[in-house]
């Protein structure tokens, strides 16, 4: 009996720790950022309901929903996935089940760029992702897709061939917040998913686009807030550092390729070595993706 009670207490403690794993950070305007095990989720709340950008994983959905319920008791009406990654859309079904409306007319709309759905249902695609694909009911192919919700224009822009070829960036125009997914990860090397249509030039173009859209406050601080796919809340100045890093390493790899160096030689030269102490993730994989991406561009 005592042991059972101990197990029950331990189990409850574990649940409490999990529930605390999703933190809520008010950003500005109607926007909050949820920091959880699957990365970052952006939430807009208001009288009309809730917009969720990126749903993390199915396993994290109860904690994500509990965190959302700290912000609003309204139903989730819009879900936007910034890419096809499982840690960005794996929680769609569970989150809508937990927080969507029972009213069929208010069924949650799940927005992705059409390339996301095309890849998830392509011949040979992983069966593990069927349930994620099944949640999508609102694809777009002309950028931006926009709608007005809670009195705020929500603009969904397609970033072609960046982290993948189905990346979306969401601008909450009145709150002045950008939710940018894995195009920007301030303390981690970017994952350029070549197999899913990503490219280094597309990534740099997307980062430069974010810089054009963001307006910094006085002396390059504050202003437009940028919610990355993973990592801390940022602003334009933080994106500049990241863009510079990607651009400089790209330039170095490009220069080595012009000199005829092979992929193995480029990797051995460690063109990212002055950034490796700052950014987590595999430097080798990042350099390899740049090399292959640049090689694919050659005529």
Partner 1 sequence: MSKPVLLALPAVLLGAAAFAQADFSGEWAPLYHEDGPERLPGPELGDYTELPINDAARLRADSWDADRISVVEQYQCRPHGSDYSMRGLGNMRVWREIDPATQRLIAFHTHMLAWDSERTIYVDGRAHPAGYAPHTWQGFSTGVWEGNMLTITTTHLKENYIRRNGVPRSDQATVTEHWMRHGDYLTVVTVIDDPVFLTEPLVRSDNWYIDPGQHIGIFGCEHAPELPKPVGVVPHHLPGTNPYLREISEWYGIPYEATRGGAETLYPEYRQKLKDYKAPPKCDRYCTCTTLFDCQLR
Contact flags string 130-169 toward partner 1, x per CB under 8 A:
----------------------------------------
Q: In terms of CB distance, is 39 or 91 closer to partner 1? A: 39
The answer to the question of residue 233 lying near partner 1 (CB under 8 A) is yes
Interface residue with partner 1 among 18, 71, 125, 216 (CB under 8 A) is: 216
Query: Considering only residues 10, 148, 244, 295, which one is a binding residue for partner 1 as defined by CB under 8 A?
Result: 244
Give how far Cα 157 sits from Cα of 35, 71, 166, 181, 275, Å.
23, 26, 10, 12, 30
- What residues have CB less than 8 Å from 234, skipping those under 6 apart? 184, 186, 225, 226, 227, 228
| Position among 59, 204, 261, 263 found at the interface with partner 1 (CB under 8 A) | 204
Question: Residue 144 carries which DSSP code?
Answer: P
- The Cα–Cα gap between 288 and 267 comes to 7
d(CA 76, CA 34): 15
Interaction between residue 280 and partner 1 (CB under 8 A): no
**Position 278 contacts partner 1 (CB under 8 A):** yes
* ∠ CA 43-49-51, rounded to 5°: 30
Beta strands in 47-187 (DSSP E): 49-53, 76-80, 109-113, 138-140, 145-149, 152-159, 167-172, 177-181
What are the distances in angstroms from CA 155 to CA 82, 122, 225, 242? 12, 27, 15, 23
Contact of 191 with 163, CB cutoff 8 Å: yes
Between residues 128 and 212, which has the closer beta carbon with respect to partner 1?
212
CA-closest candidate to residue 32, choices 57, 52, 2 = 52
Q: Does 69 bind partner 1 (CB under 8 A)?
A: no
* Of the candidate residues 18, 98, 211, 263, the single one contacting partner 1 (CB under 8 A): 211
Name the residue nearer to partner 1 (CB basis): 24 or 59: 24
Residue 218 found at the interface with partner 1 (CB under 8 A) = yes
Among residues 62, 275, 281, 292, the one that binds partner 1 under rule CB under 8 A: 275
Q: By C-beta, is 151 or 217 nearer to partner 1?
A: 217
Nearer to partner 1, 36 or 100 (CB): 36
Does 221 participate in binding partner 1 (rule CB under 8 A)?
A: yes
Return the axis-axis angle of helices 2-20 and 61-69, rounded to nearest 10°.
70
Measure the CA–CA gap between 17 and 269, rounded to whole angstroms. 43
- Report if residue 97 touches partner 1, rule: CB under 8 A: no
Binding residues for partner 1, rule: CB under 8 A, are 23, 25, 33, 35, 187, 204-205, 208, 211-212, 216, 218-221, 225, 231-238, 240-241, 243-244, 247-248, 251-252, 255, 271, 273-278
């Amino acid at each position: 009996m005592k042991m059972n009670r101990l197990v029950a207490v331990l189990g409850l403690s574990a649940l409490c720790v999990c529930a605390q794993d999703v933190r809520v950070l008010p950003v500005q305007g109607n926007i909050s950022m949820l920091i959880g095990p699957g990365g970052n989720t952006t939430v807009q709340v208001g009288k009309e309901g809730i917009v969720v950008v990126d749903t993390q994983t199915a396993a994290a959905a109860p904690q994500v929903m509990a965190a959302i319920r700290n912000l609003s008791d309204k139903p989730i009406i819009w879900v936007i996935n910034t890419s096809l990654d499982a840690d960005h859309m794996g929680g769609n079904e569970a989150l809508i089940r937990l927080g969507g409306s029972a009213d069929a007319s208010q069924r949650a709309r799940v927005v992705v760029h059409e390339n996301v759905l095309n890849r998830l249902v392509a011949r040979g695609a992983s069966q593990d992702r069927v349930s994620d694909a099944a949640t999508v009911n609102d694809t777009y192919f002309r950028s931006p897709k926009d709608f007005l919700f809670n009195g705020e224009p929500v603009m969904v822009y397609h970033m072609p061939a960046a982290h993948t070829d189905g990346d979306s960036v969401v601008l909450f125009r009145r709150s002045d917040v950008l939710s940018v997914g894995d195009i920007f990860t301030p303390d981690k090397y970017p994952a350029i998913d070549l197999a899913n249509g990503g490219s280094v030039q597309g990534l740099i173009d997307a980062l430069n686009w974010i810089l054009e859209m963001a307006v910094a406050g006085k002396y390059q601080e504050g202003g437009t807030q940028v919610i990355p796919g993973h990592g801390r809340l940022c602003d334009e100045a933080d994106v500049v550092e990241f863009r510079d890093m990607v651009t400089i390493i790209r330039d170095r790899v490009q220069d080595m390729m012009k000199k005829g160096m092979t992929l193995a030689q480029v990797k051995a030269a460690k063109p990212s070595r002055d950034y490796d102490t700052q950014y987590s993730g595999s430097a080798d994989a990042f350099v390899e993706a740049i090399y292959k991406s640049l090689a694919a561009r050659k005529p």
